[in-house]
Amino acid sequence: MIKLNRDIEIYVPRTYDSQVSTWNIEQAALLVLDIVIPNTSCHLSISLCADGTMRKVNHQYRGENKVTDVLSFSSEFPAEWQGNPLQNESTKIEQFLLPPDQLPTIGEILICFPEAKRSTKKSGSHIVNEIALLVIHGILHLLGHDHGNPSDKARMWIIQERALSEFIR
């Protein structure tokens, strides 16, 4: 039997900690990891931030000077940087040798809490479910899923909806 170990670092600024639970964030992350990479130990980090931070990071890494709801920075799969398309999208970033007790890091997710709150006003969703959706969406990006074309989007949305419905149950 494989001993599964998942280390999920979660940072929620004090400004938002009364409105969101790290336990809920962790549960959403574990659900999607169990669906997509069920037998893989890993480490990832999830941070919530304000509009200004998200705008700055989005501008720095994607060349877009605007707020977005979630950004994913994968350790395994390359992505566009500053709007420059990838030369070869199927290329996986090479793994480097880790110490025996260190988990492989799949990446980092940054979620804009105020943008998530604005989305709930439009969708009528509860903030807990909206944050869970963004966690799930972000992790799918970390694991190489994308929604740049209709077939990729359909595959990603199926997994996303499954994980979210399990979370809401």
pLDDT at res. 58: 94
Q: In terms of residues, how long is the chain?
A: 169
105-112 and 70-74: which strand pairing? antiparallel
Of all helices (H) and strands (E), which one includes residue 131? helix 127-142
Residue 104 phi, psi dihedral angles, 5° rounding: -70, 135
Q: Which tokens go with 55?
A: 């705008």
pLDDT at res. 82: 43
Q: How far is CA 133 from CA 28, 59, 87, 148, 161, in A?
A: 8, 23, 30, 18, 9
pLDDT in tens, 78-87: 665 544 454 5
pLDDT at res. 148: 86
pLDDT at res. 67: 97
Chunk the chain into consecutive blocks of 10 residues (it has 169) and report each block's average pLDDT, rounded to whole numbers.
84 95 97 94 96 95 93 78 49 56 87 97 94 97 90 94 95
The CB-side HSE value for 66 (13 A sphere, CA atoms) comes to 3
pLDDT at res. 98: 61
The CB-side HSE value for 63 (13 A sphere, CA atoms) comes to 7
The residue behind tokens 């499954």 is 162
83: left (phi over 0), alpha (psi -120 to 50) or beta: left
Nearest to 117 by CA among 35, 36, 18: 18
Is it true that domain 6-81+103-168 has CATH number 3.40.390.30?
yes
pLDDT at res. 96: 57
- Boundaries of every domain in the chain: 6-81+103-168
